[in-house]
Structure 1
Amino acid sequence: MTATELTLQERELMDPASVDDIEWAVRLLAATPTHEGRDRGLLRQWARKADEFGSRLAPVPCTALVIERDSGLERMLLARYTSRPPTVELYTDTLTLAEELVDAHGWRAWYPPGSVRAAALAHEAVHAHLHHGPAKAALKQALGHSALRIGPLRVPGYVAGAEEVAAHAYARTVCGLGRSPLLLTAALHAALTRPGREN
């Protein structure tokens, strides 16, 4: 097979950096339950607004207990926030694979040494911030989605996946990354789901 015979999907699997950050955000939203069949234009609009919202958030400290453990590869998780008690679980095996992928793809300029861990902590800190504070309502307002409209009255609606897009944009901004962690997430997913991979 020559390079010209490769499909767009095959090229993207070989080079996930050929997909821009907003398109990765659109794909995240499209793969989120409740968005099946939604218009791609609407998903792109929400992705842009969530990305802008996350990139404008003021720095948020990570005040949750941080626990490092293995088993992220089988769960396909880099990190996870739980609220009771506020805890961030960092999966060291997935962090290690992420760092290996950064080197393998030549993305070190976008993700400097130590930035993957820092981005994971920043990402989860925003989940805690959105869970416990007024920022969740502000994100709903920024997205402009209505759950209910009666005349001039509007109830802002929840957009599944928007918090995830905002958290990735926040991590990209506060950690000074050249690309969104969504790109690294896509590369991790491709590596963990490729045929013949041993877990």
Structure 2
Amino acid sequence: MSPATGELALSPARRTAFRAACAELAALDDAEFGARLLARTPTHENRDPARLLRWAEAATAFGTELAAAEGPYEGPAGPYAEPRAGHGTPRVVEREGGVERLLLARYVSRPAPAVELYADTLALGEEVVGLLGWREWFPVGAVRRAALAHEEAHCLLHGDRTLRRALRERLGHTALRLGRHRMTGHVAGADELAAHGYAAARCGLGRTPLLLTAALARAVRALEED
């Protein structure tokens, strides 16, 4: 079958194996997922796992607090339907071809700010959530809303130097020290974890979208191998 249809048509044996693998994923908490993401990010290969875990927790918490600062929002499809106006909201463009790259959405700043939503990956995500019984964490329609919220977080961070500095301060990574003075450094991948924390809080999800992203990767692999 083609994964672009959004239908997770697996053989019974492959479906059983897929469910078991995703149950193991769900047993991990969001901080562990975040630390794993950082560990796979260039420049972090030899970092202390405990430090990566602290950074993951701090970045996710930063995103959660940023969402709370944005305040409640109700749209026609429930909490957080579309990116809000007032932040230089980019236009939303729907595309296909996200499954092959495991892309749900992507924020691009050039030539004009836009959020690209990948309809095939969103459909597959909804199928995965339904198959795994994760609706308590990701209600119907939450995949699209979370993707939009995630990209809104990237848009906020991209456009606000003060926010980026605050995230660096929260992580506390010292890039340079001169006497009593220290300069905080950028932590690759931290903005991604902040965006996941933001999306979970803005959409009222039971888990951050990191879990769903990991399950999607397993789904694509299962479809390729079936």
> TM-score, with normalisation over the residues of structure 1?
0.90
d(CA) in 2 for partners of 1:99 and 1:87?
23
Partner of 1:28: 37
Kindly provide the CA deviation profile for residues 27-59 of structure 1, in whole angstroms up to 9, marking residues without a partner as x: 110111111111100000100100110100022
Structure having greater relative contact order (Cα 8 Å, sep ≥ 6): 2
Structure 2, gaps ≥5 residues long: 1-18, 71-82
Counterpart of 2:141, as a letter, is G
Identity %: 53
Q: How many residues align?
A: 189
Q: Runs of 4 or more off by more than 3 Å in structure 1?
A: 10-15, 194-198
| Cα separation, partners in 2 of 1:121 and 1:196, compared to 1, 3 Å | closer
Q: Does 1:172 align with 2:195?
A: no
Partner of 2:48: 39
> TM-score, with normalisation over the residues of structure 2?
0.79
Alignment of 1:108-119 (within 5 A): 108-119=135-146
Q: Secondary structure at the match of 1:113?
A: coil
d(CA) in 1 for partners of 2:208 and 2:59?
13
d(CA) in 1 for partners of 2:147 and 2:95?
14
Shift, 1:91, TM fit? 0.2
Counterpart of 2:106, as a letter, is R
Counterpart of 2:101, as a letter, is R
Partner of 2:100: 74
Shift, 1:115, TM fit? 1.2
Counterpart of 1:116, as a letter, is V
d(CA) in 1 for partners of 2:221 and 2:176?
39
d(CA) in 1 for partners of 2:146 and 2:213?
12
Structure 1, gaps ≥5 residues long: 1-9
Alignment of 1:1-199 (within 5 A): 12-57=21-66, 58-59=69-70, 61=84, 63-84=89-110, 85-133=112-160, 134-194=162-222, 196-197=224-225
